[in-house]
Every structure is written in structure tokens, then in C-alpha cells.
């Protein structure tokens, strides 16, 4: 079960890294013209949802590993 816990932790960290990337991209979009900022933010929303999903799956793996331990 240690593999499930550490693997889930790694997946969660990947999701958190994706969220930090989204935050950096959204801060960068603040300095763009409005039409470019809208296009950039529409891409950021997709990456944000994907990152949250990856982080949730990783946390689910950690919890499952702890419960099966």
C-alpha cells in the first residue's frame, strides 16, 4: 500500500504544480489587452479544471492507500 500512498502523493503534487502554472498564466494575462486576455483565460480554465482533477485523483489514491493499510 505504500506504493499507492506515495504514487498518489506524486500525482497530487503534479496537480498542485498545474495549479501554480495556472496562477502564473492568469497573472500574466492581466497585462494583456482584453481580447488576448480572454483567449488566454479560456485556456487557463481548461488547465485549471484538469489540474484540480489530477490533484483530486491523487488525494483519492492516498486516502485509499491509508484505508487499506
User: How many domains are there within the chain?
Assistant: 1
pLDDT digits (tens, 9 = 90+) for 9-62: 999 999 999 999 999 999 999 999 999 999 999 999 999 999 999 999 999 999
pLDDT digits (tens, 9 = 90+) for 38-51: 999 999 999 999 99
Taking the C-alpha atoms of residue 55 and residue 25, their distance in angstroms, rounded to an integer, is 19
pTM equals: 0.88
* pLDDT on residue 69: 87
Instruction: Determine the length of the chain.
Output: 69
Taking the C-alpha atoms of residue 4 and residue 32, their distance in angstroms, rounded to an integer, is 42
Q: Which residue has the cell 502564473?
A: 24
Domain encompassing residue 42: 2-68
Amino acid at each position: 500500500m505504500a506504493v499507492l500512498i506515495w504514487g498518489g502523493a506524486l500525482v497530487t503534487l503534479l496537480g498542485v504544480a498545474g495549479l501554480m502554472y495556472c496562477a502564473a498564466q492568469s497573472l500574466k494575462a492581466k497585462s494583456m489587452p482584453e481580447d488576448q486576455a480572454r483567449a488566454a483565460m479560456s485556456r487557463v480554465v481548461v488547465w485549471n479544471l484538469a489540474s484540480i482533477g489530477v490533484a483530486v485523483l491523487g488525494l483519492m489514491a492516498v486516502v485509499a492507500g491509508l484505508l487499506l493499510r
